[in-house]
Amino acid sequence: MLDKKKNFELIINHLKSAINKNNEKEYILYVVCKTLVDTIDYYDWVGFYLVDSDDDKMLVLGPYIGDPTDHTRIPFGKGVCGQAAEKKETIVIQDVSSENNYLSCSPVVKSEIVVPILKDGRVVGELDIDSHQKSPFTDEDSIFLNKICDFIAEQAF
């Protein structure tokens, strides 16, 4: 079995070869969701929230893979997604039951990581991942997902 860091490098290389500037944003985001859900067993819900073109302080649900969610619009500052957008930083919640400002999508979700996508210093979207396990996310996950978001910013925005 490959170690986590090596596996993440292989996934990034796969995404780089599968995606190029000629692809549309929706396709790029979908390919990322599908690849992450299919290759990482503790990534149970993977999706994107994009900044609303009419309201730069509102996130709108974009492509995702996983159970449906009622949270299709999230204001900056609300929930983990809104906090990550407001702070422009990755947020990891290893146990969502201990988070006061958490928007629950499903009772089976135990942890969450949210990584903002930055273009020219402003948030244009974010990658949101839920896990059905407590405390699965490591520093390697954060580094890996930030690399993916940097790549998405270059390719899709």
How far apart CA 116 and CA 2 sit, in angstroms, is: 28
Q: Is the pLDDT of residue 105 over 90?
A: no
pLDDT per residue as tens digits for the range 18-40: 887 678 999 999 999 999 999 99
**Residue 20 has what pLDDT?**
77
**Residue 19 has what pLDDT?**
86
For the chain, give every domain's residue range: 4-156
CATH class of 4-156: alpha beta
Q: What is residue 50's DSSP assignment?
A: E
pLDDT per residue as tens digits for the range 114-150: 999 999 999 999 999 999 999 999 999 999 999 999 9
The residue type found at 145 is: L
How far apart CA 150 and CA 124 sit, in angstroms, is: 11
Beta strand segments in 58-121, E: 58-65, 73-75, 91-93, 111-119
Report whether 115 contacts 124 (CB < 8 A): no
